[in-house]
């Protein structure tokens, strides 16, 4: 069973801090990795994608991938209350099908 | 507007009713998906269509019946549902020939079975 594991949280950080969200995956054949943000009652929204080992930065967001450890993370710098949401990690292989984790709930407190 | 439109946004139906969920994508994608999202659970893949052909059915009960008349439209026909089928049903699309692009989700249909 191919799985993506995330700590469901909630992860609580103060406003302005760095939020660190983590994810592990079981399928070594996974080639692509995604972070989705889902606000309560809304649909998931793609915020980051990463395909190679290392870091990828986009504004306040940094995705990190370590294929040897089968580990993906998302760092959110200068966290804002508007970042409070559930963050879904997903992995994909050459089938085009994504496997999603259960999501981590982030709470950013003013 | 995400480029993937789902209707209705909310649906309440009795266990003996028949209803349909509709999904339309305007992104030129050639793969479409139905997912179920229940509280405290990961997204559950239900059906996959590539170039309007069903390529995956994840052991979904027959009371859920998908239909994909073309690459832009996807339906989920519902009949004799159970209360445990109450969930958020999400449609997504992707470009099958660009596997690394991720999915675009619709806004979902919140289904309540009474």
Average pLDDT on B30-35 reads: 93
Q: Give the Cα separation of B33 and B90 in Å (integer).
A: 8
pLDDT on residue A24: 97
Distances from the Cα of A20 to the Cαs of A11, A43, A47, A50, in angstroms? 9, 22, 15, 16
Q: Is the pLDDT of residue B1 over 60?
A: no
pLDDT on residue B98: 56
Residue by residue, DSSP assigns B18-52 as EEEEEEEE-S--SEEEEEEE-TTS--EEEEEEETT
- With cut-offs at 50, 70 and 90, classify the pLDDT of residue A6: very high
B105 neighbourhood in chain A, CB within 8 Å: 36, 43-45
Q: Do B45 and A45 touch (CB under 8 A)?
A: no
B41 neighbourhood in chain A, CB within 8 Å: 102
Residue-wise pLDDT for A72-105, tens only, equals 999 999 999 999 999 999 998 777 678 899 999 9
How many CB pairs below 8 A link A and B? 56
pLDDT on residue A46: 94
């Amino acid at each position: 069973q191919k799985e993506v594991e995330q700590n469901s949280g909630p992860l609580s950080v103060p406003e302005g801090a760095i939020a660190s969200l983590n994810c592990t995956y079981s399928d070594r054949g996974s080639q692509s990795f995604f972070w989705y943000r889902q606000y309560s009652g809304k649909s998931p929204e793609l915020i980051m994608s990463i395909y190679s080992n290392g870091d990828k930065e986009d504004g306040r967001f940094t995705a990190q991938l370590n294929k040897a450890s089968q580990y993906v993370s998302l760092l959110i710098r200068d966290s804002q209350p508007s970042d409070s949401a559930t963050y879904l990690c997903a992995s994909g292989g050459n089938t085009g099908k994504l496997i999603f984790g259960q999501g981590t709930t982030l709470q950013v407190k003013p | 507007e995400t480029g993937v439109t789902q209707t209705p946004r909310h649906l309440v139906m009795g266990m003996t009713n028949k209803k349909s969920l509709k999904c339309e994508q305007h992104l030129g994608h050639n793969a479409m998906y139905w997912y179920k999202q229940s509280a405290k659970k990961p997204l559950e893949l239900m059906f996959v269509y590539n170039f309007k052909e069903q390529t995956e059915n994840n052991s979904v009960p027959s009371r859920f019946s998908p239909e994909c008349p073309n690459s832009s439209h996807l339906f989920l026909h519902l009949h004799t549902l159970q209360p445990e089928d109450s969930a958020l049903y999400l449609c997504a699309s992707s470009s099958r020939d660009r596997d690394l692009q991720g999915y675009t989700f619709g806004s979902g249909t919140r289904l309540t079975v009474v």
